[in-house]
A and B are shown apart, each in its own frame.
Chain A
Amino acid sequence: MAELTPEVRAKHWAKTKNLTIATLVVWFIFSFGIHWFANSLNSISFFGFPFGWYMAAQGSLIVFVIQIFYLAHAQQKIDEEFGVAEDDAQG
C-alpha cells in the first residue's frame, strides 16, 4: 500500500463520498418523499394503477434496483481512476 499517498486517498474518498451522498438523496426521495404524498398521487391513474399505490408496489423498487447497479458500476470507475481497484477482481 506504499504507493498510495494521503492525497490520493483523500481525493478517492471525496469522490466516493459524493457518489454515496448522491445515491442517498435519490434513495431518500423514493423511500420517503414520494410516499408521503401517496394519498394525493392516488388520484392520478398510471397504467390503470392509482399512482401512489403504484410507486409503493413497483415504482420505488425499480428505482432501487437501477440505483444499486449504477452505484456498483460508478464506484468501480472511481476505484480504477485512482488506481485503488483490486488487481485481480473477479466477477
Chain B
Amino acid sequence: MKSSSFIDNLPKVYAIYTGGFIAFILLMALMEQAGMSGDTIGVLFVAFTVVIYAAIGWLSRTMQVEAYYVAGRQVPAVFNGMATAADWMSGASFVAMAGGIYFGGYGYLAFVVGWTGGYVLVASLMAPYLRKFGCYTVPDYIGTRYGGNTARLMAVIVLVVASFTYVTAQIDATGTIASRVLQIPYTVGVWFGLLGILLCSMLGGMRAVTWTQVAQYIVLIIAYLLPVFWMSNKQGFGLIPEFAAGHAVQRLMELETLHQVGTLLPTEKFAGLSALVTPHATAGTGMAAWKFTTLVACMMAGTASLPHILMRYFTTPSVKAARDSVAWSLLFIFMLYFTAPALATFVKLQVLDPELASGIIGKAFSDVQSLDWIQKWSNVGFLKIVDSNGDGILQINEFFMRGDIVVLATPEIAGLPAVISGLVAAGGMAAAMSTADGLLLAIANALSHDLYYKMIDPKADTKRRLIVARVLLLMLGAAGAFVASLHLTNILGAVAWAFDFACSGLFFPLVLGVWWKRANREGAIAGMFFGFVAGSAYLYYVYNGGAPWLGIDALRFGMIGMPVSLVAMVVVTLLTKAPDKEIQDMVDNMRVPKGNTVLSATH
C-alpha cells in the first residue's frame, strides 16, 4: 500500500468502497423487507464496517519509521482533509453534539461555532509552519524549536493528559453504541470497542490510521446526513433540511409555549439523564453571552493545540498541500456541523409535536410506555419516563433521556426503518473509533518518539522504536477502556476538558514559536507549566464544588489557563536572553515554504 500507483488510484479505490457501502445499505434494506429483525441488521452493520477498517489496517502494516509516524508524507490534500475530518469528528460531534443542542438549546451552539472556527487558527497560525518544520510529533516541534529535554517533556505531559482525557470519552462512546447494538453490558461494550480501535492502528501506525479514517469519514457522513434528509422530506419541511430548519425552529418555539418548556422543572432527578426544560432558541444577554463566547474561545484555541489534529498536517507532501488540506478538512467537517442543529431541531419536533405520529409529549402515559424505542433504551438505562403527577399523561418534565443517545435514537424516534438505525450505529462507531485511533497514536508516538527515543535511548534501532510504540498503544488503550468504564463524566464534558487542557498548556507556546522569534526556552517552559497547572488547579476547584469565578465553570477552564500561560511565557522570555542565531534561522526557515524542512526526513 505504499507505491505511488496506490496514491494515484485513491479516488478510484474510495469510489468503489463508497459504492460497496451503499450496496450494503441497500442489501440490508432488502433483508429488512424480507423479515430480518432490526437487531440483527444493527449487528451486521457494525460488524461489517469494523471488519473493513481492520482489513485496511492490516493491509497498511509497516516497519518503516516515516510511514509509521507520518504516513510517508504522501497523503494528498483532499484525502488528508477527509482523514482529518474523521480524526476530528468524534463521538462528541457525532453522538453527543446534537444531543447537547437538543437539551441545551442555543447555548450549545457554542460547540458548533468553536469546533469549526478553530480551523481558521490552525490554517493561519499553525499547520503550514509546522509542516515546514518537518517534525514527527508536536513535542518534537516544541523540543526542537525551544531546545532541551525539559520543554519536550512538558509538551509530552500536556499532550498525554489532554489526549488521554479525550480518548476515554471516545471509548465511552464506542461502549455506549456497542452495548445498545449488541445488547451487551456497557462495561463489556467498552472492551469490544477498544478491540476494533487497536486493530486499525497497531500494525500500520499513521499510514493505517490515515486510510481507515478516510473510509470512516465516508461511513459517518452518510450515516449522519441520511436520516436528517429523510426526516425533513418525510415531514414535508423541504428537500434540504438545513434550509428547512428555519420553519422547524419557529414551529418548535410555538410548541414550547404549549408544553410550557422553560417554566416546568424536572419532576425527579436521575443521574446522567436530563429533561427538556431549556427553550430551544433563546440566546440571552450578559452572563449568557459571556458564557457562550468563552466556550467558543476555549474550543477554538483547543482545536489549534490538539496534537492528534496538528499531526495530520505533517502527512501531506508539501506546505501548500498542508494549507489546502486544512481548507478541505473544514469543508468536510462543515457538512456535519451545519446539519447538527437541524437534526436537533427536527428530533425535538418529532417528540413535541402532537400532530406528528411520533409525538409523545401530551400523549397517554401507558401508550408511550409501550413504544418499542422507549422500552429498548429504558432497558439499557439511558431513558426514563415517570408519571410523577399521576394524571396519566406524559408531560415534558416527566421525560428523561441521556443527551448522548439523541442521535442514535433518532431513527427509532422518527419511525424510520431499522436499516437507518443500523447505519447510524455504524456511523457513530466510525466517528468514535477514528478519533480514538488518532488520539491513541498521538499519545503512543509522543511517548515512543519523544520520551523513549529522544530522551531515554537515542541509540534504539528502528525495529525497537516501532515495537515500543506498539506496546505503548496497547497499554494506553487498556488504560483508556478501564477509565471509560468508570463513567466519570458525560461524553461532551470529557471532550471539552481535553480541549481546555490542550489550550491551557500548548496554545501559546505553539503559536509564539512561529510568530515571535524572541520566544525562548525558559519562556516556553514557564508558559506550558504555569498555564497547565493553573488550568488544572482551577478545574479541580470547580469540579469539587467551588463557586465558578465569572461564570467560568469546568467546561471553560481554559479561560484561566490560557491567560496565565501567555503572561508567564512573555514575562519569562523577556527576563531571559534571546534564543541564539541557530534557533532564529530555524524560525526564518519555517516561515517560507521553499527549501528543505528544518528537521531532516529521518530523525
> Known: A20-B124, A61-B334, A68-B120. Is A32-B283 also a contact (CB below 8 A)?
no
A31–B323 CB distance below 8 A: no
Contact of B337 among A61, A68, A83, A89 (CB under 8 A): A61
Contact of A89 among B121, B320, B338, B589 (CB under 8 A): B320
Give 1 or 0 for each of B180-194: 1 = CB within 8 Å of chain A CB: 000000000000000
Contact of A32 among B116, B125, B297 (CB under 8 A): B297
Question: Which residue of B has the minimal Cβ distance to A26?
Answer: B120
Q: How far is the CA of A16 from the CA of B124 in the complex (A)?
A: 10
Give 1 or 0 for each of B271-294: 1 = CB within 8 Å of chain A CB: 000000000011111001100110
Contact of B124 among A23, A36, A52, A79 (CB under 8 A): A23
> Known: A68-B120, A91-B76, A91-B324. Is A86-B594 also a contact (CB below 8 A)?
yes
B327–A69 CB distance below 8 A: yes
Contact of A58 among B117, B281, B284, B338 (CB under 8 A): B338
Question: Which residue of B has the minimal Cβ distance to A12?
Answer: B592
A32–B318 CB distance below 8 A: no
The answer to whether the Cβ of B12 comes within 8 Å of any Cβ in the partner chain is no
> Known: A38-B106, A72-B327. Is A84-B124 also a contact (CB below 8 A)?
no
> Known: A31-B300, A39-B284, A50-B249. Is A61-B113 also a contact (CB below 8 A)?
yes
Chain B residues whose CB sits within 8 angstroms of the CB of A62 once the complex forms: 334, 338
Q: Which of B474-520 contact A (CB under 8 A)?
A: none
Question: Which residue of A has the minimal Cβ distance to B125?
Answer: A20
Q: Which of A38-77 contact B (CB under 8 A)?
A: 38-39, 41-42, 46-50, 52-54, 56-58, 60-62, 64-65, 67-69, 71-72, 75-76
Question: Which residue of A has the minimal Cβ distance to B289?
Answer: A36
Q: How far is the CA of A60 from the CA of B334 in the complex (A)?
A: 11
B284–A48 CB distance below 8 A: no
Q: How far is the CA of A76 from the CA of B77 in the complex (A)?
A: 15
The answer to whether the Cβ of B247 comes within 8 Å of any Cβ in the partner chain is yes
Question: Which residue of A has the minimal Cβ distance to B300?
Answer: A31
Q: How far is the CA of A90 from the CA of B319 in the complex (A)?
A: 9
The answer to whether the Cβ of B593 comes within 8 Å of any Cβ in the partner chain is yes
Chain B residues whose CB sits within 8 angstroms of the CB of A1 once the complex forms: 589, 594-595
Q: How far is the CA of A41 from the CA of B282 in the complex (A)?
A: 11
Q: How far is the CA of A50 from the CA of B594 in the complex (A)?
A: 48
The answer to whether the Cβ of B341 comes within 8 Å of any Cβ in the partner chain is yes
A90–B289 CB distance below 8 A: no
The answer to whether the Cβ of A87 comes within 8 Å of any Cβ in the partner chain is yes
> Known: A9-B592, A56-B106, A68-B120. Is A38-B283 also a contact (CB below 8 A)?
yes
Chain B residues whose CB sits within 8 angstroms of the CB of A23 once the complex forms: 120, 124
A31–B128 CB distance below 8 A: no
Chain A residues whose CB sits within 8 angstroms of the CB of B128 once the complex forms: 75
Q: How far is the CA of A14 from the CA of B581 in the complex (A)?
A: 21
Question: Which residue of B has the minimal Cβ distance to A61?
Answer: B116
Chain B residues whose CB sits within 8 angstroms of the CB of A64 once the complex forms: 116-117, 119-120, 330, 334
Chain B residues whose CB sits within 8 angstroms of the CB of A69 once the complex forms: 327, 331
Contact of A56 among B76, B109, B319 (CB under 8 A): B109
The answer to whether the Cβ of B321 comes within 8 Å of any Cβ in the partner chain is yes
Q: How far is the CA of A57 from the CA of B283 in the complex (A)?
A: 12
Stretch at the interface among B164-172, B221-229, B238-246, B261-269: B238-246
The answer to whether the Cβ of B250 comes within 8 Å of any Cβ in the partner chain is yes
Chain A residues whose CB sits within 8 angstroms of the CB of B112 once the complex forms: 56-57, 61
The answer to whether the Cβ of B254 comes within 8 Å of any Cβ in the partner chain is no
Smallest beta-carbon distance A22→chain B, Å: 10
The answer to whether the Cβ of B259 comes within 8 Å of any Cβ in the partner chain is no
> Known: A68-B119, A89-B318. Is A54-B246 also a contact (CB below 8 A)?
yes
A32–B296 CB distance below 8 A: yes
> Known: A9-B592, A90-B317. Is A30-B289 also a contact (CB below 8 A)?
no
A76–B320 CB distance below 8 A: yes
Chain A residues whose CB sits within 8 angstroms of the CB of B249 once the complex forms: 48-50, 53
Q: How far is the CA of A67 from the CA of B119 in the complex (A)?
A: 10
Smallest beta-carbon distance A1→chain B, Å: 5
> Known: A27-B117, A84-B593. Is A53-B281 also a contact (CB below 8 A)?
yes
Question: Which residue of A has the minimal Cβ distance to B76?
Answer: A91
A30–B318 CB distance below 8 A: no
The answer to whether the Cβ of B123 comes within 8 Å of any Cβ in the partner chain is yes
Chain B residues whose CB sits within 8 angstroms of the CB of A67 once the complex forms: 120
Q: How far is the CA of A35 from the CA of B294 in the complex (A)?
A: 11
Q: How far is the CA of A13 from the CA of B593 in the complex (A)?
A: 12
The answer to whether the Cβ of B372 comes within 8 Å of any Cβ in the partner chain is no
Smallest beta-carbon distance A57→chain B, Å: 4
Chain B residues whose CB sits within 8 angstroms of the CB of A48 once the complex forms: 246-247, 249-250
Q: How far is the CA of A19 from the CA of B566 in the complex (A)?
A: 23
B318–A86 CB distance below 8 A: yes
B330–A68 CB distance below 8 A: yes
Smallest beta-carbon distance B536→chain A, Å: 25
> Known: A23-B124, A32-B297. Is A46-B246 also a contact (CB below 8 A)?
yes
Q: How far is the CA of A68 from the CA of B249 in the complex (A)?
A: 29
Chain A residues whose CB sits within 8 angstroms of the CB of B341 once the complex forms: 53, 56-58
Question: Which residue of B has the minimal Cβ distance to A32?
Answer: B293
Q: Which of B68-117 contact A (CB under 8 A)?
A: 76-78, 106, 109-110, 112-114, 116-117
Smallest beta-carbon distance A76→chain B, Å: 6
Chain A residues whose CB sits within 8 angstroms of the CB of B324 once the complex forms: 72, 91
Nearest first, the 3 closest Cβ-Cβ pairs linking A and B are A48-B246, A38-B283, A57-B341
* Chain B residues close to A by CB (< 8 Å): 76-78, 106, 109-110, 112-114, 116-117, 119-121, 123-125, 128, 242-243, 245-247, 249-250, 281-285, 288-289, 292-293, 296-297, 300, 317-321, 323-324, 326-327, 330-331, 334, 337-338, 341-342, 588-589, 591-595
Q: List 13 A-B residue pairs with CB atoms under 8 Å apart, sorted by A's residue number.
A: A1-B595, A27-B124, A31-B300, A39-B285, A56-B113, A57-B112, A58-B242, A64-B119, A68-B123, A72-B320, A84-B593, A86-B318, A88-B318
* Chain A residues close to B by CB (< 8 Å): 1, 4, 9, 12-13, 16, 20, 23-24, 27, 30-32, 35-39, 41-42, 46-50, 52-54, 56-58, 60-62, 64-65, 67-69, 71-72, 75-76, 79, 83-91
- Taking A31-B296, A61-B337, A91-B324 as given, write out 7 further A-B residue pairs in contact, using a Cβ cutoff of 8 Å, ordered by the A residue number: A31-B117, A57-B338, A67-B120, A79-B594, A83-B594, A84-B594, A85-B593
